[in-house]
Structure 1
Amino acid sequence: MTAAALPDVDPAALASLASRLAHRVAAEILEMRGRGVDVAATKSSDVDVVTAADQAAERLLTDALIAERPEDGILGEEGAGRESRSGITWVLDPIDGTVNYLYELPAYAVSVAATVADPDAFADGRRAIAGAVCNPRTDELFEAYAGGGARLNGSPIRVSENPDLSRALVATGFGYTVERRTEQALVVAELIPQVRDIRRIGSAAYDLCLLAAGRLDAYYERGLQPWDYAAGALIAREAGANLLGADDRTPPGEPYLVAANGVLAARLHAALGLSPAAA
């Protein structure tokens, strides 16, 4: 399903809603952080935490979306699920970068994306047509809608034009199981002699937005979930990024997402030892 198949949907209006909710909930989680953090659960391992604020923020988002768009579906990281009757499914990460939030590091964000079904776009079979990512610690609101470009606090942003892998500042992330981290560390060890440097910031959504703003040259990660990238990938693409999967037959998402300007994305893709991808 494409945006053209949904004549009653205005991506710009959906982006406005995503921005409003992301900004509102970002302010709420910042206030909650000031009162302290309660670890409510763990996920993939004992160090992969869920805080009470994650759960509360997801409830705030879902309640607001149901009130404003009762026919839409919802997919949330912390378990929110609702079937869509409109063709729109909202993909939510209430706090992307929960460990940063736990340690009070200023690199976490609320991510909100309106998606439509598109089996060829991303590994989860969805494509964002509007989205917003808000980091309350830096007072940054990134937003985009399909065909409308990307903005940071209302001003247009573009990806870096650097084509040179050896001069590229590259971001990535690690999983929370020992096996996955070990594998990812070996990849970094092979890559780091080939690039300017590596950054591991701790929030995929924020990484993709920093890429969109030209503060990073490239980004890659293995094992992302839809809520990690739904809004950020749209923002990066609307800012001029090319997004690649593991090979020409696999859309970005799981197992791999590689993002940069077209030339650099292809060069990073090759440096990671993935199958050839067109620039």
Structure 2
Amino acid sequence: MERAVTHDPLVLVARRAAAAGAEVLGRRDESQFNLTDKSAAGDWVTDFDRASEEAIRATILTSRPNDELTGEEYPSAKPANPSGFRWSIDPLDGTTNFVRNIAYYCSSVGVCQRNADGSETWVAAGIVAPALQVEYFAGKGLGAWKQDLRTGKLTQLAGPAESEAKILATGFGYDAQRRQFQANVLGQMLEDYVNVRRLGSAALDLCLVAEGSLDAYAEYGTQEYDWAAGALIAEEAGCLVGRPSTNPGWQYAGLVDPAKLTEPEA
């Protein structure tokens, strides 16, 4: 299985692309942030977000010029002769952490295949967290894996074990009304958990559930690029995974009761 996933062509591209993005983030320099707001105060974007996405796109296109590209910072790129594969790119998941020098940020790359009925199946994923010196990757049917970039140690992920002391990871939006809704749902869920973590990167939350460091993750209002890679990694680790069926909607993984993930009142 290890050889199968490490030699899978799509997994190889996902890993190379995520590594290229992370290499840009590894050159973190506060004097070069060029920090601006996007949707709201605190929803930051930096020149590193943009440079990382450029590096990721260039890496993918080098070997797969007929694949479609979608990402956080730039418009979608649709080739003239589409292959049926589409990449979803988050060049810097955890920008606030990156700006504030908190280690939980990463480059995240996932790819899906368009099916004959128009649906899509996520087939490969790569995530690299340069400050943590760790890589996560997965292939459909090939398992989920973690590599320590310091030692090269490779570990297959198996998700969280049942526990009486479960920890839930979550996140909150920039809009005050959405935060209040999320907090209300969180309050209803807390009876199932002993504590909560809010790390600031949806992609890494999903990876930490995949490796069993966290027991569950649930967040409302994430974008596709936030979960495209991490959801497949958690799924391939054997976790229950729910991708948003609406936008906005709930993303969750691990030891979660989906029935408690209510929608806002109209």
Same fold (TM over 0.5): yes
Distance 1:52 1:39, change over 3 A: same
From 44, 64, 72, give the equivalent of 2:59: 64
Query: Could you say which residue in structure 1 is the equivalent of 2:22?
Result: 26
Gaps of 5+ in 2: 1-5, 148-153
User: 1:168, CA displacement in angstroms?
Assistant: 1.4
TM-score, length-scaled by structure 2: 0.86
TM-score, length-scaled by structure 1: 0.82
Mean Cα displacement is larger for which, 236-245 or 106-115?
236-245
Query: Could you say which residue in structure 2 is the equivalent of 1:150?
Result: 144
Contact preservation (8 Å) 2:167, 2:216: yes
User: 1:118, CA displacement in angstroms?
Assistant: 5.5
Q: What RMSD over aligned residues (CA atoms) do the two structures have, in Å?
A: 2.4
Contact preservation (8 Å) 2:17, 2:57: no
Query: Could you say which residue in structure 2 is the equivalent of 1:240?
Result: 238
Query: Could you say which residue in structure 2 is the equivalent of 1:102?
Result: 99
Distance 1:102 1:17 in 2: 28
Equivalent residue letter for 1:25: G
User: 1:226, CA displacement in angstroms?
Assistant: 0.7
Contact preservation (8 Å) 1:39, 1:49: no
From 166, 169, 179, give the equivalent of 1:168: 166
User: 1:35, CA displacement in angstroms?
Assistant: 5.0
Distance 1:196 1:252, change over 3 A: farther
Identical-pair percentage: 34
Contact preservation (8 Å) 1:111, 1:205: yes
Query: Could you say which residue in structure 2 is the equivalent of 1:42?
Result: 37
Describe the SS at the equivalent of 1:180: helix
Query: Could you say which residue in structure 1 is the equivalent of 2:260?
Result: 271
Matches within 5 A, 1:186-205: 186-205=184-203
From 132, 138, 163, give the equivalent of 2:132: 138
Distance 2:15 2:140 in 1: 14
From 113, 118, 134, give the equivalent of 1:116: 113
User: 1:48, CA displacement in angstroms?
Assistant: 0.5
Equivalent residue letter for 1:56: A
Gaps of 5+ in 1: 1-9, 275-279
Describe the SS at the equivalent of 1:82: coil
Describe the SS at the equivalent of 1:57: helix
Equivalent residue letter for 1:63: A
Whether 2:250 is the aligned partner of 1:256: answer: yes
Query: Could you say which residue in structure 1 is the equivalent of 2:208?
Result: 210
User: 1:196, CA displacement in angstroms?
Assistant: 1.1
Mean Cα displacement is larger for which, 151-160 or 228-237?
151-160
Distance 1:190 1:233, change over 3 A: same
From 28, 33, 55, give the equivalent of 2:50: 55
Contact preservation (8 Å) 1:211, 1:219: yes
Summarize deviations over 1:176-234 as a string: whole Å, max 9, x none.
11221122122223333431111111000000000000101011111111100000000
User: 1:23, CA displacement in angstroms?
Assistant: 1.7
Contact preservation (8 Å) 2:20, 2:59: no
Contact preservation (8 Å) 1:11, 1:130: no
Aligned residues: 250
Summarize deviations over 1:96-130 as a string: whole Å, max 9, x none.
00000010100001001111235999xxx543200
Describe the SS at the equivalent of 1:45: coil
Distance 1:111 1:15, change over 3 A: same
Summarize deviations over 1:17-47 as a string: whole Å, max 9, x none.
111221232122111x135452443222121
Describe the SS at the equivalent of 1:212: helix
Contact preservation (8 Å) 1:115, 1:126: yes
